[in-house]
Amino acid sequence: MKEKSTSAYNRVRTWEYRNSSGELKSHKEKHSVENKPLRLAANEPALNKFKNYSIRNLAKRFQFTLAGREMQNGRPSLMVDFQPASDHLPVNSFAENFINKTAGRIWVDEEDFAIAQAKFHLTEQVNVLGGIVGPVSKFTFELTRLRTPEGYWFARNMDWHVEGREMVVNRIIDYHERQLNEQKIVGTTMSRAILPASRHE
């Protein structure tokens, strides 16, 4: 049988819900052990498709500026800033309301052309369903990815923060995700990996 390469890891996800004053109202945390096929950086473009949006489609919506070079986890990367290319971009779906009002920075690995880090935010308020459900006044997102010695990339940290109104109630939500204890598993059969549950690296 053909060998399969898979990564196994501990996944820790945390949700924090606050009121408009920033007071923590509820907290949820979930731990799980997961595995998934590994992907070489050479097999993935620097900008993957975002759902039904091709790279070319997304590139037309943004203005890109090379901001310099920076080391990311011991590897040289290019810093690329992006912002909406226009104030009058086409809107054909609900998702495009958010895409058209997003700006930020990505760090592209100079060797693999994979995204090593990304940070972006909304440039202005976005109304949900025309403002009937409520507006999203603030949204920030951060992603950090690491490369294994074999050339595989995986997401180490992901965080997002959103502030808005749900009907008549103001909401603040913070989400944190961590992948810990990554291991590469190669074999002809794949059973679920058992890794020690850990809240720390």
Give the DSSP per-residue string, 116-145: EEEEEEESS-EEEGGGTSEEEEEEEEEEEE
The 8-class DSSP code of residue 43 comes to G
What's the confidence (pLDDT) of residue 197? Answer: 43
Percent of the chain topping pLDDT 90: 43
What's the confidence (pLDDT) of residue 53? Answer: 54
Tens digit of pLDDT at every position of the chain (201 positions): 344 456 778 889 999 999 888 899 999 999 988 776 655 554 444 444 444 556 677 778 899 999 999 999 899 999 999 999 988 888 877 778 888 899 999 999 999 999 999 999 999 998 876 555 678 999 999 999 998 887 888 889 999 999 998 767 788 999 999 988 777 765 544 334 334 444 444
Q: How far is CA 133 from CA 91, 160, 195, in A?
A: 19, 21, 42
Model pLDDT for residues 7-29, shown as the tens digit of each residue = 778 889 999 999 888 899 999 99
Model pLDDT for residues 108-137, shown as the tens digit of each residue = 999 999 999 999 999 999 887 655 567 899
What's the confidence (pLDDT) of residue 200? Answer: 43
Percent of the chain topping pLDDT 70: 75
Q: What is the pTM of this model?
A: 0.75
What's the confidence (pLDDT) of residue 176? Answer: 96
| Residue found under tokens 């890109």 | 64
Q: What is the mean pLDDT of the chain?
A: 80
List phi, psi (to 5°) of 67: -100, -10
Burial call 58-95: b when 16+ CB within 10 Å, e when fewer: beebbeeeeeeeeebeebebbbbebebeeeeeeeeeee
The residues near 4 (Cβ < 8 Å, ≥ 6 apart) are 37, 186, 187, 188, 190
